[in-house]
């Protein structure tokens, strides 16, 4: 019996080490994915942590080869739940009189330069293009945004993306095509397929 307990303990330590390596390998990419989806780093960190906690028991039941896909599926569900709650809160806030809302000085207005007589290359600094891209990406419907991020930022295959999103491969292709079309309309030649 003592030998069996030792083997079980060794297996748990191995599992813990594997989970730790896995989390280190996906943390930065998953955080970037979440930040773009929710547009708030603190909320993204919270959602990432919740996904990691939910992932641990699920990972113990699955082979390591599918962990990344499984983790992004869990993270995607956390983000979708948060977005649904945010939509509900926004609907309620519409019925709140403006005088009851607190005023903040931290609201930021983003203005893009009109370009003037400068060369086109000078009109688009890397920071401006990044901000324009973030704005265009944030304006996409959630499913298009998710498909684009999973395929182009996280480099998941169409099959993996479909499994993560819980839809068909055809649906992934449709969401991705629409996302790219919308981004091209917003950003012109600056977006790649």
> pLDDT (tens digit, 9 = 90+) per residue, 85-97?
887 666 655 554 4
pTM attached to this predicted model: 0.62
Q: Which two tokens stand for residue 136?
A: 């265009």
pLDDT grade for 10, boundaries at 50, 70 and 90: low
The answer to whether residues 26 and 150 touch, using CB atoms and an 8 Å cutoff, is: no
CA 69-70-74 angle, to 5 degrees, is 115
| Whole-number pLDDT of residue 64 | 92
Helix axes 2-38, 41-59, angle to 10 degrees: 150
Helix (H, G, I), strand (E, B), or coil: what is residue 139?
Answer: helix
Q: Residue 131 — φ and ψ, nearest 5°?
A: -65, -40
Q: Which residue has the higher pLDDT, 49 or 108?
A: 49
**Alpha helix segments (H runs only) across the chain:** 2-38, 41-59, 67-94, 120-123, 126-139, 142-148, 158-165, 169-187
């Amino acid at each position: 019996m003592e030998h069996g307990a030792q083997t079980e303990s060794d297996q748990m330590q191995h599992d813990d080490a594997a989970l730790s390596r896995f989390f280190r390998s996906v943390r930065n990419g998953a955080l970037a994915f979440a930040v773009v989806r929710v547009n708030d780093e603190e909320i993204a960190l919270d959602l990432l942590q919740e996904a990691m906690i939910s992932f641990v028991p699920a990972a113990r039941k699955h082979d390591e080869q599918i962990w990344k896909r499984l983790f992004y599926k869990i993270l995607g569900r956390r983000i979708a739940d948060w977005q649904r709650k945010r939509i509900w809160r926004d609907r309620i806030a519409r019925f709140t009189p403006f005088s009851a809302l607190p005023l903040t000085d931290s609201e930021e207005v983003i203005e893009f330069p009109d370009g003037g007589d400068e060369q086109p290359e000078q009109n688009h600094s890397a920071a401006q293009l990044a901000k324009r891209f973030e704005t265009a990406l944030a304006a996409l419907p959630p499913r298009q945004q998710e498909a684009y991020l999973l395929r182009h930022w996280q480099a998941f295959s169409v099959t993996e993306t479909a499994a993560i999103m819980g839809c068909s491969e055809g649906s992934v292709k449709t969401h991705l095509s629409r996302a790219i079309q919308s981004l091209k309309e917003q950003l012109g030649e600056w977006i790649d397929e």
